[in-house]
Structure formats: C-alpha cells, structure tokens
C-alpha cells in the first residue's frame, strides 16, 4: 500500500506532530510520499524539519504554466470527470469561505496532485486539517484520484464548518479522523448519521525523544513555560494579566513563552507597560530539543487557550512529568485532570488562571512532581506515536 500525505504547508514549526506521524508510519513498512501546497515561509530551526523539505513536492512550485498545463491535460483526457468536478466547485463556491475564484485555484492544484499521485501509484491520500488542503484532496478524488481521509484538529474547522464545506469533505472522504472524542462529536454535528461509522479518534502522539526521557526532578524555583504560536486564541495576553496579578502580590516566579507570531509585538508592549520584564521572557521558535529542555527547566506548563483541539505540547509536558495548567475547553479535559495531573480553569478568566498558578507556586514540590508523574502515565498509555500510527495504518487499509 502506498500512502501520500498532503498538507497546506510542510514542514511547519508548530506542526512537528505531523512529521512524527509520517515517520512512524514509514517505520511500520508503509512508504509515504509528501506533498504540500506551498513550502514553509519562515526559516526552519529544527534539523529534522529541514530534511523534510527535501522529501516534499510542492504543488505551487510548478508555477502558473505548470498549473495550467495540468488543467488542460485533465480536461482533454478526463472530460467527464473534469466537468463534473467543475460543476461541483461552482456549487460549493457559492457558500465557501473564499468563494468560487479560490475554489477554482484549488481545482488547478488538484489537477497537479491528481497527476502526481497517479504517476506514483498512490493508493490513498491523507490530509492534516480540514481546510484548503482537504479541498484539494477532495477535488483530486472527484477527478478520479485515490481515496482520501483527513484529520480534523480544530478549532478552525469547528468555528466555520459551512464556510470550509466540512460536510462535503466528510461525505466524499473514505475516512475522517478526530484527535479527541470532543473532536469526533463535533464532526458528527456536520454530517448525516450514515457517515458516522467512518469517523474515528486517533490521537496525536509523541516519539522516543519525549517518551524515553529519564525522569528529571522539578527545579526548586517556581517557573512556568508556555509553548505555542503567539496568537489571540492561545491566550497569551490573558496570561500576562494573570502574571501581573501575581507579581503585585510579591510572588517570585518566572514565565517563559516559547514561540513566535504576529501577536509578539503586542505581548511585548503589554509586558513593558505592566513592568513585567523580570517575570516574562519570550524565546521565539525553538527546536524539539530546545522545547524539551525548556519544559524540563520548568515546574509547570501553562496553556491558557481560548480555542484548541488537543494541544501536543500538553502531551510533551506530561511525558516529561510536568503538570499542566490549561483551560476547560475542547479535548483538553480528556487529558488534563484537575488536581491529579494539573488544573483546568475557566477560559477567559485571568483571575482563575492566576488562582491556579498561585496554587502551583505554593504547592509542595513533591505534590507537583506526583501530578507530573500521573500525567506521564496517561500520555504513555494514550499518546505513543507508534501505537497511534498503527491505528492509522489499519484504518487506511480498511477504508481506502
């Protein structure tokens, strides 16, 4: 069986879980071809990500001439499929987020993908995220290409399912994956009951870099780490407010923000305005090894998100025996258990976030350590990438 993975951008600094999944599938003996719509826009910091670039074919790399050439070839060689797919595009384009024009661009991309997967004798295409790359895989299928499946992470797909034509993507897919039971339930909302049987849960997983790490004791000084893209939905500005509350009480601690994004300047301005430069540090993007070390250097991970799927960084913190403070949203409660492996707080409340952080600061180190070990047990059981990849392979074989 030959599998192709299709992503919008690959590799991507905040999506290393996709690379882990591909590598684990290949380790099981299934070859995986990598396709992406476009290459990464920013410089990559992780060596493994840099190597992925050389393994990936980029659809937009063929240029406008290549796109039009593929379109004409499909029109001449598969006219019935071509015009049926074109009719479908016009239909969904009327309600799609970006309209008919962008869906016609996705059609051009699908023509290239169809040719590539046909030449490579691909049996099945798997996509991560239910956005434009899933559209391209769907259109390739309608042109007569291989079956496709896609993993839905959220929250974007659940924020605007109709604009993303989620219903149509589910109906035309042979298999749909949610990364949590919450995600699976949301997918049920946007398709008929007859499609429920092809919706399954496969968790994102960790590899040996995290799972085989020998236990490192928690540091004695209160230190929190927050890892993720610097954007509104991740709640960094709320975290800064919570830090300000705790700092005004005279508590001594440090918060490390690992990541980057368009909100960085605003976060830095708020830190400066509130006089918190001694409390908060922003590192920018980091390699997998650097992320692991930042977690090990901390007592607790804090993820104050407003919208999520099920963050991989929570799994990484647990694997390294660090408790987690996060919000009671999406799939997070399926992994984080209050006062057992961390704290779940009300989303959008700086007071609730500050309260959990305060409790963590005052909690005896031994109790924090036990919380972390409880989290490690949960991750080892439910989020081993080799086990999850085997689930995927079996599903691909069943549903392709």
pLDDT attached to residue 180:
98
3-205+384-399 and 209-382 have identical folds: yes
* CB-based contact 18:40 (threshold 8 Å): no
Mean pLDDT throughout 319-335?
97
R_g of the chain computed on alpha carbons: 22
pTM confidence score: 0.92
Pairwise CA distance, residues 7 & 1, whole Å:
20
Least confident range from 88-97, 115-124, 125-134, 215-224: namely: 88-97
pLDDT attached to residue 95:
72
- For the chain, the maximum distance between any two Cα atoms, rounded to a whole number of angstroms, is 73
Domain ranges across the chain = 3-205+384-399, 209-382
Architecture of the domain made up of 209-382: 3-Layer(aba) Sandwich (3.40)
Name the CATH topology of 3-205+384-399: Rossmann fold (3.40.50)
Question: How does pLDDT run across 40-63, given as a tens digit for each residue?
Answer: 987 787 888 899 999 999 999 999
Question: How does pLDDT run across 135-192, given as a tens digit for each residue?
Answer: 999 999 999 999 999 999 999 999 999 989 999 999 999 999 999 999 999 999 999 9
pLDDT band at 129 (very low <50, low <70, confident <90, very high): very high
Q: What totals of helices (H) and strands (E) does the chain contain, helices first? A: 17, 13
| Closest to 105 (Cα-Cα) out of 118, 88, 89, 84 | 89
Mean pLDDT throughout 295-314?
97
Three-state helix/strand/coil letters over 172-192: HCCEEEECCHHHHHHHHHCCC
pLDDT band at 356 (very low <50, low <70, confident <90, very high): very high
* CB-based contact 11:5 (threshold 8 Å): no
Mean pLDDT throughout 76-97?
90
The DSSP symbol for 222 reads -
């Amino acid at each position: 069986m030959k599998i192709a993975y299709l992503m919008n951008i690959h590799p991507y600094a905040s999506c290393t879980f996709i690379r882990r999944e591909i590598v684990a599938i290949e380790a099981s003996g299934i070859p995986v071809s990598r396709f992406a719509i476009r290459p990464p826009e920013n410089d990559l910091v992780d060596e493994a990500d840099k190597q992925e670039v050389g393994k990936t074919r980029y659809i937009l790399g063929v240029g406008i001439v290549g796109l039009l050439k593929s379109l004409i070839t499909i029109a001449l060689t598969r006219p019935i499929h071509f015009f049926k797919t074109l009719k479908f595009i016009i239909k969904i384009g009327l309600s799609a987020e970006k309209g008919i024009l962008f869906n016609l661009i996705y059609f051009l991309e699908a023509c290239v993908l169809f040719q590539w997967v046909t030449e490579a004798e691909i049996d099945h295409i798997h996509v991560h995220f239910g956005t434009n790359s899933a559209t391209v895989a769907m259109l390739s299928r309608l042109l007569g290409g291989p079956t496709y499946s896609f993993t839905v992470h959220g929250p974007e797909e659940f924020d605007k399912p109709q604009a993303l034509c989620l219903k149509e993507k589910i109906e035309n897919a042979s298999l749909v994956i949610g990364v949590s039971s919450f995600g699976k339930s949301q997918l049920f909302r946007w398709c008929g009951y007859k499609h429920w049987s092809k919706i399954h849960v496969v968790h994102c997983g960790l590899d040996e870099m995290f799972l085989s790490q020998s236990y490192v004791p928690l540091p004695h000084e209160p230190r929190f780490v927050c890892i993720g893209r610097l954007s509104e939905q991740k709640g960094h500005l709320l975290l800064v407010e919570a830090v300000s509350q705790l700092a005004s009480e005279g508590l001594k601690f440090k918060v490390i923000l690992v990541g980057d994004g368009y909100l960085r300047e605003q976060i830095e301005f708020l830190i400066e305005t509130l006089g918190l430069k001694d409390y908060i540090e922003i590192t920018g993007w980091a390699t997998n090894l650097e992320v692991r070390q930042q977690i090990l250097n901390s007592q607790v991970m804090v993820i104050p998100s407003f919208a999520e799927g099920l963050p991989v960084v929570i799994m990484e913190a647990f694997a390294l025996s660090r408790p987690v403070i996060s919000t009671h949203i999406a799939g997070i409660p399926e992994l984080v258990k209050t006062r057992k492996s961390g704290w779940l707080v009300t989303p959008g409340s700086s007071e609730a976030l500050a309260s959990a952080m305060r409790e963590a600061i005052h909690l005896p180190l031994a109790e924090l350590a036990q919380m972390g070990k409880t989290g490690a047990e949960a991750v080892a059981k439910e989020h081993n990438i080799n086990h999850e990849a085997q689930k995927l392979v079996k599903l691909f074989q069943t549903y392709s």
